Amino acid sequence: MPEVSVHVLKSLSAEARAKLLTRVEGDLGPFMEKAAPIIEAVRTEGDAALARFAQQFDKSPVTEDAIAATPADFDAAFDSVEREMIDVLEMAVDNVRRFHEAQMPTEMWMKEMAPGIHCGERSSPIPSVACYVPRGKGSFPSVVNMTAVPAVVAGVPLPIIVTPPGPDGKVDAATLVAARLAGVERVFKCGGAQAVAAVAYGTQTVPKCVKFVGPGSPWVIAAKRLLSGMIDPGPPAGPSESIVLADETANGRVAALDLLNESEHGPDSSAYLVTNSQRVADEVLAAIPGYWAHMGDERTGYSQAVLCGARGGIVVCETMEDAIAFTNDYAPEHLQVHSKSPYDYLGALKNAGEILLGEHSAICLGNYALGPNAVLPTNATAMTRSPLGVHDYLKLTSIAHVTKKGYDSLAPQVRRFAEYEGFEAHANAVSPLREKAFNGE
């Protein structure tokens, strides 16, 4: 059995420490090179290319006339998914919906900046969005909840779902159930770089959209970068990553369960336990093999590739200050704090897509059902980006109204500003020429 990687922070060189911070999506060059011809094929051939790539990459017998899921497909999905699972999906959709309804901003606000000068903002939904639901290493109706529900809450007129087809040529049944529960019934069978291209350009079947959201493989990320001039690529959301931050009060066996959470997504994931306690580190190391024994061969293989490789394992620090500094530099997608007093560290934790406090706040609870969005910024973009939310489906428009009184007080100052910058038309627009224009002179 492979050994979990252990990194003693104080003994690492600056180069070795920096290497721990890298993710697989850090070097997209090879993916972008290979994604470019796929994108071009979809642009020129449309549905024919989507069907060909479904057969080539997904090993799925999709034909040009069967790219869209039909109403009968949705009905069949409800018949095939067990009632208990439908109940679970309904619960999750309800929690996610209620959280995002609370997140909705005021439709419009105005404030009097000075007498006669009123300014504010109006929020309105974007016209369309493609929600990507991956499938390569499993099926993920949970991603439908996180991407489609806020789109519907925000009032997007055209929300669609794109997802890779299965080996039977169909969309995962639970994904269709979740889509209908979320309020989206336009689902299309395409994944990877070809899905991004399909919604960026539009095909005979797939509508062109203005934005693309959802987590994806490096192929998806590469295509989003290549097509960023054609479609808003949405928040960055690549392969899964996590840090379990544990102090000396943590239970190592419990922390090990949460460390394994993101490590099983795939060999391109990243997962670290970061601790100042050698005891906790030893408990985690002792517990992991037993937990692997409770997993299937495929997921165990993914987990071992991560935790025993260069992008995962245990980072042992001298102090919690060092552990927190490493965590902030890493800026993880998921961060869970294992401590008897987790709020003691909250103020110092600056960079993370989500922060889950305490040993009962398992990462998987957030993945599925807590309510906050689980599509989170990856590859250290949590330093500047936020979780997916209704704001990603809305746009703000500045609103202003100036009365004659407000104009008279502000115009001379703006005229002087414009003259300083050398913009003569700007200056003329707030000069005596305006009064003459009102008077027909």
Point out the residues that are catalytic.
Answer: 333-334
Copy the structure tokens of residue 424: 């003569």
How far apart (Å, rounded) are the C-alpha atoms in residues 273 and 13? 19
Residue among 79, 69, 368, 351 nearest 189 (CA) = 69
Identify whether the C-beta of residue 253 lies closer than 8 Å to the C-beta of residue 357.
no
Identify whether the C-beta of residue 373 lies closer than 8 Å to the C-beta of residue 100.
yes
Residue among 159, 161, 190, 172 nearest 46 (CA) = 190
Alpha carbon 337 to its chain centroid, in Å, reads: 21
How far apart (Å, rounded) are the C-alpha atoms in residues 330 and 320? 15
Copy the structure tokens of residue 191: 């994944």
Phi, psi of 230 (to 5 degrees): -105, -25
Identify whether the C-beta of residue 317 lies closer than 8 Å to the C-beta of residue 276.
yes
Alpha carbon 138 to its chain centroid, in Å, reads: 18
Copy the structure tokens of residue 383: 């330093």
CB atoms near residue 292 (< 10 Å): 19
Provide CB contacts within 8 A for 44, sequence distance 6+. Answer: none
How far apart (Å, rounded) are the C-alpha atoms in residues 293 and 295? 5
How far apart (Å, rounded) are the C-alpha atoms in residues 115 and 402? 9
Copy the structure tokens of residue 68: 């869209």
How far apart (Å, rounded) are the C-alpha atoms in residues 42 and 193? 9
Return the axis-axis angle of helices 83-103 and 141-154, rounded to nearest 10°.
40
How far apart (Å, rounded) are the C-alpha atoms in residues 143 and 134? 8
The arrangement of strands across the sheet holding 117-125 comes to 108-114, 117-125, 394-402
- DSSP structural state of residue 211: B
Identify whether the C-beta of residue 62 lies closer than 8 Å to the C-beta of residue 169.
yes
